[in-house]
Each structure stands twice: as C-alpha cells, then as structure tokens.
C-alpha cells in the first residue's frame, strides 16, 4: 500500500528518471552532430556556454528572484509568528532557518529560492498571511522548506543547462544544415534534410516538456515533504484550494518566476486538456489535493 514515505520516494525516482532521459537526449543530439559534421567541438562550446550562464543564475538565484518579484525582508519584529513557524519547521527538518521575505500582494502564494539550504529564502504574500489559517500557512511554509531541503534549485539549474544546450545546438544545427556554412558531410541529401527539420522542431519542444515534467514532480515531492513534516496533509490540501480559488492576479507574476510559486500565479489560464498539461509548470491543483487527501486517509 502507498504511504507518505513511498509517495515521496516515488517522486524522487521519477525525477531522476526524467533527468537521466534528459541527459540521454543531450548525448543523442551530440552524437547526431558529430555524425553529421565529424566534429563535436561545437557541442562542447554550446554546453560550456549553457553551464556558465546557468551557474551565474544558480549562484545569484536569490538576488535575481527577489529583485524580479519586488519582495521585501520580513523582520522578526513585524512578523513574529511567521518567524516562529519557519524556525520550528527548520528545526524539525534539520535545516538552517531561511531568510524570510514578504510580497505586498492580495493573491495568496509563496515561493522558495536560494542555491543551497544555507542561502535559502522563503517569500510569502500578504494575501497568504491574511486569508489562510495558521495550520494552512504552516503547511505552505513546510512545502517551501521542502523545496530547499530537496535541493530543487540545484536540480532546476541542471535542467536549465540541459534545456539551454538542446536549444543552442538545435539553433546551430538549423543555421549550418540549411545555409551550409560549416559544410556538413553528404549523408544522404534529402533524408538528412528531413531529419534535420524534424530534429530542429522536436528537440527543443521535447526538452521543454521534460523540464516541465521534472518541475511538476518536484512539486509533488515538496507536497509529500510538507505532509511528512506537519503530519497533517489536509492543511496543505485546504491551503492549495484557497490559493487556487483566489481571483486576484499576482502583480509581479511573469514566466521567468511562475514555476517557483507553490501554485501558478496566473489566473484564468488553467490548462485542462492532456496536451496542455504537458506545458504546465505545476501539476493540476485538483490532482495535488487528491494525492494529499489520499495520504491523509492512509495516516488516519
């Protein structure tokens, strides 16, 4: 029978399975490039560029995100209860207490960032503090602390490197295959041309789908972590329902930071079809709530 622990383990395994598939995709692309041109130097250049830019983003992730969201430091004097809850959760998880920030926004939401637990940051909106009950706030904070403890920022940085590599190589392949500036080998004329077109179109799309799939699995894992930490899955289930049903738009929401939040900050753009779900940054709220309540019934 599935338990809180097996749910968490399954999400970890699935995430690393996606990462393995991602790495194999990049290796396959590299092999195709070397086969076509007889030279893999361009692959190394693209990979190096992706790693350098992603390392910069990873190293400065907290500063970049806080600047983009216009979050302000939440002092202990102004938000004593928030600090108490986070400190207790951090102790329970054996983690350093993260820095706390506030977004002046009516939409209830929250996110975590920081390159490692020592540099962890949790930000919540004033809407979340005003609308949710204490147990629900605690569950949301446990979820965000789960992201920090599960090294999700590191994993997302690795994924960004892989996606960036795929996109750069696809773009390079497009330019050289069609305009002949690198003089690729004659490997079959029209067959190679057709293969190049399919590759150019599908590789970046597949990479993006895999990136989003990993992001969704990390959300499930953070949900499981929060349920294990608080021993009250219903708290997070109830919080997610309130967050998703709130009609307010997050003022600072954008595509660059949307995946960080506990629930999509965009309202009225929910994707329902199976195809559209492939491009969602978060799992559907109803599926997360169902999974959490299944955990609750198992523990009761």
List active site positions: 144
Nearest to 6 by CA among 220, 267, 244, 248: 220
Largest CA distance in the chain: 71
d(CA 203, CA 271): 23
CA distances from 239 to 229, 249, 257, 264, 287 (A): 16, 17, 21, 14, 14
**Helix intervals (H) in the chain:** 4-37, 41-59, 61-69, 80-93, 126-131, 134-149, 152-179, 190-230, 233-245, 274-277, 285-299
d(CA 29, CA 45): 14
What single string gives the DSSP state of each residue in 37-49? HS--HHHHHHHHH
């Amino acid at each position: 029978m599935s338990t809180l622990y097996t749910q968490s383990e399954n999400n970890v395994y699935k995430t690393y399975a996606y990462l393995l598939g991602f790495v194999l995709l990049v290796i396959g692309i590299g092999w195709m490039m070397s086969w076509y041109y007889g030279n893999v130097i361009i692959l190394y250049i693209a990979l190096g560029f992706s790693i350098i830019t992603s390392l910069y983003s990873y190293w400065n992730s907290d500063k970049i995100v806080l600047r983009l969201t216009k979050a302000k430091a939440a002092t202990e004097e102004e938000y004593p209860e928030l600090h108490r809850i986070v400190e207790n959760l951090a102790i329970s998880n054996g983690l350093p207490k993260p820095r706390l920030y506030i977004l002046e926004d009516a939409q209830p939401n929250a996110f975590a960032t920081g390159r490692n637990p020592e540099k962890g940051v949790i930000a919540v909106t004033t809407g979340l503090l005003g609308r949710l009950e204490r147990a629900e706030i605690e569950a949301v904070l446990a979820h965000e602390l789960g992201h920090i403890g599960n090294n999700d920022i590191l994993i997302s940085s690795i994924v960004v490197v892989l996606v960036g590599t795929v996109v750069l190589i696809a773009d390079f392949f497009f330019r050289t295959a069609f305009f002949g500036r690198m003089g690729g080998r004659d490997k079959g004329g029209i067959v190679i041309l057709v293969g190049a077109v399919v590759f150019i179109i599908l590789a970046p799309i597949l990479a993006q789908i895999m990136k989003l799939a990993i992001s969704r699995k990390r959300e499930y894992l953070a949900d499981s972590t929060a349920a294990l930490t608080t021993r009250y899955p219903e708290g997070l289930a109830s919080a997610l329902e309130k967050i998703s049903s709130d009609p307010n738009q997050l003022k600072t929401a954008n595509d660059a930071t949307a995946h960080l939040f506990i629930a999509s900050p965009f309202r009225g753009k929910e994707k329902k079809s199976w195809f559209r779900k492939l491009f969602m940054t978060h799992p559907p709220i109803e599926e997360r709530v169902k999974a959490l309540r299944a955990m609750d019934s198992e523990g009761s």
